[in-house]
Amino acid sequence: MKFMILVKASKDSEAGVLPSEQLLAEMGKYNEELVKAGVLLAGEGLHPSSKGARVRFSGTKRTVIDGPFTETKELVAGFWMIQVKSKEEAIEWVKRVPNPMGEESEIEIRQVFDAEDFAPSDPTGEHRAKEAELRAISEGRRR
């Protein structure tokens, strides 16, 4: 099972304040544990929303909204993508994360859909096969 671990933003992360050297070292050690356990698929920190944009959809109309965005508690400052056997295992890994903000903070855990989750909507398997083909092409380009 794949899980996305979402680190919520703080006022400091939205202000572009970089993590301390100590936190970087602690996160590096944690990431090394994830890699050694064979569960880490990806993990990155994100620039503040002031450097981002959103695209709002309304029917066929698209509107671009430049950051920053005001609701800090709803923003993401970073993420990990992990592959584990269960939600409980994902929770255990997240409980070991060094506090990313050094203050009260929150990390969200969300399971990622697997292609087989869409089987009821794709009885012939055509869409899942195409997705697998595209994923293989994409992964081949990254090597």
Which pLDDT tens digit goes with each residue over 29-61? 999 999 999 999 999 999 999 999 999 999 999
Break the chain into its structural domains and give their ranges.
2-112, 113-143
Q: Domain 2-112 belongs to what topology? A: Alpha-Beta Plaits (3.30.70)
Q: Which DSSP helix (H) or strand (E) runs through 100?
A: none
Could you give phi then psi for residue 75, rounded to 5 degrees? -95, 160
**Checking phi first, is residue 102 left (phi over 0); if not, alpha (psi -120 to 50) or beta?**
left
**pLDDT exceeds 80 at position 95:** yes
Return the pLDDT at 127. 83
pTM confidence score:
0.84
Instruction: Please write the tens of the pLDDT for every residue from 2-25.
Output: 999 999 999 999 999 999 999 999
Return the pLDDT at 88. 98
H helices within 6-143, ranges in order? 11-14, 21-36, 87-95, 126-141
Burial class (CB in 10 A: 0-12, 13-18, 19+), 65: exposed
| Reported confidence tier of residue 126, pLDDT bands at 50, 70, 90 | confident
More confident residue, 54 or 119: 54
| Reported confidence tier of residue 77, pLDDT bands at 50, 70, 90 | very high
- Bridge partners of residue 78, in order along the sequence: 7, 45
